[in-house]
Amino acid sequence: MPARFVYWMNISLDGFIEGRPAPAGDLGAPDWIRIDEQLHRFFNERAKAMTMGVEGRVIHDMMDPFWPDARTDESLPDYLREYGEIWTEQPKILVSRSRTAADHNTTIYGDDAIARLAELRQESEGDIGVGGADLATQLLAAGLLDELLLFTHPAVLGAGRPLFDSPADAIRQPLQLELLEQRRFDNGVTMHRYEILRTATK
């Protein structure tokens, strides 16, 4: 059975993954996102269960070097150090046309990334986490995206970046989804995991 690409994202109640632009140099979570210890430990469990991760350049640059450094930062709580260990040790694919080198178990896919990811999906097993709206949109358009793992935060942004970039180019007809799992966390965040029953095609 081929692997499954799982798009994992924090999202607002009105469907946005980013609101107003963050201040220059600010790589922290925006104030509308509620990630506490309970939720982060759940993140750790899900990330540990993934066989590998696929990330766009922007997401990858946010993760590295913060998470590799977090592993040994005693000022951080144990669940953050644990996630740093998980992310650093997990095999990763960085999709980038500009990067030529990357550390921490990372392989770079360039111009032919989507074709190579299609081969990887066919030849691999388990769940492969997908990070980045642009990358997820390309996988969706190619019919390669299998699941959505969405963490809905109780906030309404009013405007911003949607779950998929250029959705009209990727979604020619409504996507049919099946709810596989749901959970509510104490901080008001809800998790919904959906299987994509009919993937988009160009």
The Cα 31–Cα 38 span in angstroms is 18
6, two tokens: 């799982």
Residue whose pair of structure tokens reads 């699941």 in the numeric block = 147
The whole model's pTM is what? 0.91
**Count of CB atoms within 10 A of residue 132's CB?**
22
Residues ≥6 apart with Cβ < 8 Å to 146: 4, 5, 6, 195, 196, 199
Q: What is the pLDDT of residue 201?
A: 47
Distances (CA, A) of 104 to 29, 86, 127, 179: 23, 11, 20, 34
Q: Determine what percent of the chain is predicted with pLDDT higher than 70.
A: 90
Terminal Cα distance for the chain, rounded: 24
Q: For 26-38, write each residue's pLDDT tens digit.
A: 445 688 999 999 9
